[in-house]
Amino acid sequence: MAPDRSGRGIARAYYGEVVRPLLEDALPGLAHAAGRLGSGSDVLGFDDAQSRDHDFGLRLTLLVEDGRAAEVDDLLAARLPEAWQGLPVRFATTWDPQVRHRCEVASARDFAVSRLGLDPTGPMTASDWRTLTGQAVLEVVAGPVFHDGTGEITAIRELLSGYPRDVRLHALASGWDRLRQEFPDVGRAGLRGDEDGSAVLAARHVRTMMHMAHLIHRRWAPYGKWLARSAAALPSGQELRGCWMQVLRARGWQERQGALAEAAELLAAAQAGAGLPVLLPATEPFFDRPHVGVREIPEALVAAIEDPELRALGSRAGTAEQMSDSVSLLVDPAARRRLIG
C-alpha cells in the first residue's frame, strides 16, 4: 500500500500502479485526466478510518474526450482486477446497488455538468452562479488531479475558482442582511429569560458567519458536516473560531452577545482586508436597548455591484444555499434553479 493511507493517497497509488498501466497497454497514447474528484470526505481530505464503513473501495475519476468514455469504461470493466492491495475494485454504494468498478469515466464537461447541474464551459449568468452550492463546486475543484493530459479539467477548475465579483458582493450583502435581521434578538431573548432561544439564534448566526468567511476569502464552503472545519482553516479562521466557540459555549446572553459582536468585527476586518466594501465598526447599539445591531453593510456592498439585475435584487436574495439549508433541495439542481427563479 502507498505510504499515504488516506483516500487521496490510495487513489493516487491505484491510478499509478493499476489504472494508468492498463490504459497505456490497451489504449496507448490516450489523452486523459485522472483524479479523485466527486463525492466523499476523502475528496476534501477530511476522511479517517470511520469513513470506510460504507461506500468504500477503490474510487477514481477518469476524464476522456472525443466520445471515448464508454470505450474506456468497458475496458476497465473487463480488465481491472477483482481487488488491489486488499481493497475492493468492484462494490455497491448507497446511491447505486450494482456491484461494479468505481472508476467514473466521462468527459471533463459531462463530469462537471453532473455535479453542477449546468455547463461551466458556456456563458454563465448571475442566476446560474447563484444556483451553485459550495459542495457541488467542491466536487469538481477540491480533489487532487493526478494527471491532466487534455487540460480540460484544469480549465474548468480555473473557471470555477470563485464567484464573479458582483455575485460575491451580492452573496456577502445577503449574509450581512441575514445577520442584521436577528442580531439584536440574541440579547433580547436573553434579557427576557429565554437563554435557550438566545443560544439557538446565536448558533444560527455562527453558521451564517462561517459561510460568509468562505465568501470573503474566496473559498467554496462545503456542506454542514465539514463547514466548521473548513472555516477554521481559512486565513482568519482561527481567530474567528475563538469567538465562535465562545458564543456556542456561553452560559449567559451577555457573554454570548459580546462574543458574537466581536466575531462580527473580525469578519468585517477580514472583509476590509480583502478589499471589499464594509463599514467599521460593523456593529452599533440597538436603539436604547442593551443589545447589539449590525450597521448598513449590506447597502454598502449592494452600492458597489455593477450588474443592474443583481443590484436590483438588493441584499435579500442571495444564493440557493443561503436561501435554504434543506439538503433535499440543495442536492437537486432543478430545485435550486426553481428556488432562484
Helix (H) or strand (E) holding 207: helix 195-216
Distance (Å, rounded) from C-alpha 182 to C-alpha 201? 8
Distances (CA, A) of 153 to 16, 241, 294, 305: 19, 34, 41, 30
**Following DSSP, what letter does each residue of 76-100 receive, concatenated?**
HHHHS-SEETTEESEEEETTEEEEE
Q: Does residue 64 carry a pLDDT above 50?
A: yes
> What is residue 54's predicted lDDT score, i.e. its pLDDT?
81
Q: How far, in whole angstroms, is CA 94 from its chain's centroid?
A: 22
Distance (Å, rounded) from C-alpha 85 to C-alpha 124? 43
Contact (Cβ atoms closer than 8 angstroms) between residue 298 and residue 177:
yes
> What is residue 33's predicted lDDT score, i.e. its pLDDT?
98
What pairing do the DSSP bridges indicate for beta strands 96-106 and 59-64?
parallel
Region 271-285 average pLDDT: 98
Count Cβ atoms within 10 A of the Cβ of residue 179 and give its class: 0-12 exposed, 13-18 middle, 19 or more buried: buried
Region 243-251 average pLDDT: 98
Query: Is residue 1 very low, low, confident or very high in pLDDT (cuts 50, 70, 90)?
Result: very low
Name the residue with cell 473487463: 78
Query: Is residue 55 very low, low, confident or very high in pLDDT (cuts 50, 70, 90)?
Result: confident
Residue type, 226: W
> What is residue 2's predicted lDDT score, i.e. its pLDDT?
46
pLDDT digits (tens, 9 = 90+) for 224-237: 999 999 999 999 99
> What is residue 3's predicted lDDT score, i.e. its pLDDT?
65
Backbone φ, ψ for residue 65 (5° rounding): -110, -175
